[in-house]
Structure 1
Amino acid sequence: MGILGIGVLPLVITIGIAVWQYFRRRKRRRLGCDTRPQAKKWAMRGLSTALVAAVAAGGTTAFASTVGIGDYIRSASSPYNMGDYYAEPTVTGAEAKRNLVTIYLESGEQTLANDEHFEKDAFAPLKDVTRPEDGWQSIENFNQYEGGGWTMSGLVSTQCGVPLKGVGASVDSGSPDQLVGSMNSYLGGLTCLGDILAEQGYTNVFLGGANPSFAAKGTFLANHGYTKDVGLDDWRAAGEPEESFRSDWGLSDERLMANAKNEIDQLHATAQQTGQPFNLSMLTLDTHEPVHIYDYCTVDTESEVTSAFFCSMTQVADFVEYMNQMGYLEDTSVVIMGDHLKHMSAGDAFHEQLGGHTNRTIFNRIWVPGETGTPETRSDADQLNMFPTLIEAAGLTLENREAGLGVSAFSPDIPGDSAQSFEPDPYKDLLESRSEQFYSEAWAARTAP
């Protein structure tokens, strides 16, 4: 609706009601027909006053909740512009390019691995198959970017290297998944992971249990190099049994990973025949609250959410182990990460455990094959840094090892003119900035070649 709809329109309605009431009473007095009892007059005036107040207050509340007055003022007064620090991804070498598998874990927060605060380590199954002694790495203190916290923000930040924002009034929308509505273009002015890999000959495939139309995820993928995007309707059309679906969301993680095995078998075979690599991305959903407990899950905790997380990680771990058994890890990089921190909305679990936690971070694991000298990852990186990290995990080299607002987590050094060189407070100001010109260009429809 925008600012006019949620901030100005209620005021216009308020004035209209007041003017209507004024002329209505004046006309009745002039014609001598205002014969209502005094008590009824006061009742009507009270009702009108309440209506005016409700409209005005409602409009103000809607404006505050939809735009976020504090955020809006801070973003408008920020001295920073993201365009000044955005690094256009420039590939300088592709001789070592390799396959890439990326698995996004719904609400995959590292904090849930703490079995002192929770009934058990929710990530234990996945940690068992991604051990450091076997060559797996992780970014210590992998942070959600300032202002993020939902699935599309996780996808965009890690695959495009910028915060997900609209333009102007919608910069800090209280309903971020509605930023783009039914638009046919999604950040067409940016170069994202799928674009870069497609340019290098990769086949880009995305598998998810939910409907791709939700939050325009399918539009984003189609606009950025993904030629195959499989979601809810596709799984139903393929004959997946009804018990494999949760009515409010989509296909179970068990069946998603089973289908992922078939998909990677085909992709890997084709890559070996053609010499062109693939990029397979996936997004789980079993841990989206309210959680759904499938027949294949065991509930052995007081909170079903903990058991649901453990069960989902078991399905992902099984897929990782399958890749290992098939020999795919010999030529395929794997990055596993949460899409965002666990939500803390009313009714969500673990408010007590997470509410006062001072170091909430995102679970992640990284596998890069065939390089015994792979450098350790840089700690305390946020989601924007994952964009260049994914590019380098695919075996490509980047100019200055940066892309978007991020610097590869494989790089121990940060360029002095990078956004990542900022101290925490200025960096927060940068990410909160409206940067209208930058986002106007970012949301521009892509021009066909």
Structure 2
Amino acid sequence: MKKKHKIILVIGLVLSTILALLASLLAFSAKWMFKTWTNLTMDELVYHLTAPLEGTNTDMIKDYCNECAVPTILILGCILFAIAANRKHAGILKKIAIACSAGAIAVAGITVGVTWSGLDVSNYMKGQSTYSTFIDDNYVDPSSVNITFPEQKRNLIYIFLESMEMTYADKENGGAFKQNVIPELTQLAQENEDFSGKSNKLNGGYSMPGTTWTMGAMFGQTSGLPLNISIDGNSMDTQDSFFPGITTLGDILQNEGYSQTLLIGSEATFGGRKLYFTDHGQYDIMDYNYAQDNGLIPEDYKVWWGYEDEKLFGFAKEKLLELSQQDNPFNLTMLTVDTHFEDGYVCDICPDTFGDNQYANVMACSSRRVKEFIDWVQQQDFAADTTIVISGDHQTMDSDFCEDVDKDYERRVYTTYINADAEKQTEKKRKYTIFDDFPTTLSAMGAEIEGDRLGLGTNLFSAKETLSEKEGVTVEYNKMLKKSKLMEKLSDIDEEEYRRKEEEKVSPTADVKIKKTGKDNQVLIKVENIEHLKKGLQSITAAVWKNEDQSDLQWVNLAVFENGICKTKVDLSNYEPMQGEYNVHIYIIDGKGDAHNVAGTTFEIK
């Protein structure tokens, strides 16, 4: 019996110690979480629990270890010391076990209560159990809307500014601070378009549920939808597609032949950004890993979340010069990172205008850097045909930067449209959310949108009411806290449908062969093994030229035979001299009217 009591005591000590450690870690983690994310919402937490965490800032991980793991280990040491010191006193050991268990239950209970209240879990769960038809009734599927681009398509530079609010301007210019922390950005907005009407005070977009963190904001601004993931949904970390049922800005521009690039100084995998931008628009991803692999930065270089914005804007200039030499219009989308909480990253050229207020200095540095970049763009040859959109992604999560802002002040993200090819149909100040950026961006690029609405957004250059103007921001916000059957349908992954869409993305290919005919001045072009052509064949032509500048280019139609082989003869007698190396490219027009370069080769006439 004494042996059994001893075994039970040991088991009790082990279990109570584990409970105490778990409760301690939970309490420290909750404290760290609310200190790190002052405006954390439950929908953001749910998303990041299901999304990839690869690429998280190492400083944040170290901070968590210091503030959570280390104190927990110290508590473990104290418990073990108490047990060791009283190992021969069964009565005291029982009291230690009871104290650990009771303390663990109390600490866990208090932590859960504080967390429940801080995250407003009750309202979140209520929303998760209640459906609203607001999104379902107001969503306009872009795939069902006629969007007409101008004959001369404009380029797009879209800059997401981390945590940038109009709040940081001074009160005289529409902000909430005594001294303007972002004077250059204020000037850009006032000289261009932020839909403030006749007022000189800044105007910006409201953040809605599902858009209050970086990936949610990028998703919202390019799809017109909130990034709502059901708490019982699939993990975003294991999915092969990202909301396959939606049509986004990237999808639309891809279909219009745009070259698209995502340039960021952190790892694109984090938060599902790489999956989203490759799945919707097949963006070329230039992230921290790309910079390492291509020698843009040393292999062992890492600061903050990857590399700083000073390098980001330098790489952007180089990429823009490269893109501007291409025949296709381009979309360069960028995301800054230096202004991320807590207190931002101080680079080598950050000013000390605001003394020991590090975050203000970093914001001021970002403002100055963006203005310098815009000035550079406007001096380039491609500037006249390029629209620039600058938008904050979400409100800052810094713990104390906005603690003195009046509670009645309506905080909104910074917004401005530069060199827009659209005329405003109204001069009134617009009330809008970041969802409205989706159709407004396309309109700013000169595209005409049937009905002036896409997703949950409204084209702000039109006179049509936004949902915020129609419903009121608070009403719209509360309705979007609830579940939507449409969102569940759009986010649902149908593997067969996904595979079909992926197959459609594969460009058609073919084999081309060139051989001489019986005549000295003719060659036979033969095309066979045409693959991945899913929409039928309207026509097939060959482009033939010798000169590097293609000044002697001629187009020749190919005949299509029943066996799928296509042939034509080309007369070379017009080329002087006829001897030399020739280039041949094969182009197919599919059943939808889209052109595809399916093959290319060279041949020589001696």
TM-score by length of 1: 0.78
Partner of 2:126: 73
1:217 to 273, 286, 311: 273
Kept after mapping to 2: 8 A contact 1:330/1:369: no
- Per-residue CA shift, 1:266-322, capped at 9, x if unaligned? 11221xxx2x31111111111112322111222221211111111122221121111
Kept after mapping to 2: 8 A contact 1:110/1:362: yes
SS at the partner of 1:333? Answer: strand
1:162 to 225, 232, 239: 225
Letter in 2 for 1:94: F
Kept after mapping to 2: 8 A contact 1:305/1:349: no
2:430 to 379, 382, 387: 379
Bigger fraction of residues in helix: 1
Q: 1:256 to 1:434 in 2, by over 3 A?
A: same
1:284 to 336, 339, 343: 336
Partner of 1:300: 353
1:441 Cα offset (Å): 2.6
1:183 Cα offset (Å): 2.6
Kept after mapping to 1: 8 A contact 2:254/2:281: yes
Partner of 2:318: 262
SS at the partner of 2:333? Answer: strand
Letter in 1 for 2:222: Q
SS at the partner of 1:77? Answer: coil
1:86 Cα offset (Å): 1.0
* 1:430 has 2:479 as partner: yes
Write the mapping of 1:48-127 to structure 2, written as runs, cut at 5 A: 48=101, 68-89=121-142, 90-96=145-151, 97-114=153-170, 118=177, 120-127=179-186
Bigger fraction of residues in strand: 2
Kept after mapping to 2: 8 A contact 1:101/1:333: yes
**CA–CA distance in structure 1, aligned partners of residues 395 and 300 of structure 2:** 26
Q: Which moved more, 1:213-222 or 1:138-147?
A: 138-147
**CA–CA distance in structure 2, aligned partners of residues 422 and 350 of structure 1:** 31
1:408 to 449, 455, 459: 459
**CA–CA distance in structure 1, aligned partners of residues 378 and 299 of structure 2:** 29
Kept after mapping to 2: 8 A contact 1:74/1:433: yes
Q: CA RMSD in A?
A: 3.3
- Per-residue CA shift, 1:88-139, capped at 9, x if unaligned? 012331235311111111111001111786474222223445652xxx1113
1:146 to 187, 192, 208: 208
2:374 to 320, 325, 347: 320
Q: 1:59 to 1:306 in 2, by over 3 A?
A: closer
1:328 Cα offset (Å): 2.7
Partner of 1:28: none
Letter in 2 for 1:395: G
SS at the partner of 2:478? Answer: helix
Letter in 2 for 1:442: S
Q: 1:222 to 1:326 in 2, by over 3 A?
A: same
Q: 1:342 to 1:39 in 2, by over 3 A?
A: closer
Kept after mapping to 2: 8 A contact 1:152/1:217: yes
**CA–CA distance in structure 2, aligned partners of residues 126 and 393 of structure 1:** 19
SS at the partner of 1:269? Answer: coil
1:427 Cα offset (Å): 1.6
Q: 1:181 to 1:60 in 2, by over 3 A?
A: farther
1:196 Cα offset (Å): 0.8
- Per-residue CA shift, 1:126-179, capped at 9, x if unaligned? 3445652xxx11133323323232111110110010111102547xxxxxxx97
Partner of 1:187: 243
Letter in 1 for 2:205: N
- Per-residue CA shift, 1:390-437, capped at 9, x if unaligned? 12122222221111111111111238xx68632344322321111145
**CA–CA distance in structure 2, aligned partners of residues 151 and 336 of structure 1:** 14
1:396 to 447, 456, 461: 447
**CA–CA distance in structure 1, aligned partners of residues 245 and 461 of structure 2:** 27
TM-score by length of 2: 0.59
Kept after mapping to 2: 8 A contact 1:167/1:436: no
Kept after mapping to 2: 8 A contact 1:156/1:163: yes
Which structure has the greater CA radius of gyration? Answer: 2
SS at the partner of 1:337? Answer: strand
Q: 1:356 to 1:443 in 2, by over 3 A?
A: same
Q: Which moved more, 1:99-108 or 1:141-150?
A: 141-150
Partner of 2:392: 338
SS at the partner of 2:217? Answer: helix
Kept after mapping to 2: 8 A contact 1:378/1:409: no
Aligned length in residues: 398
Kept after mapping to 1: 8 A contact 2:439/2:454: yes
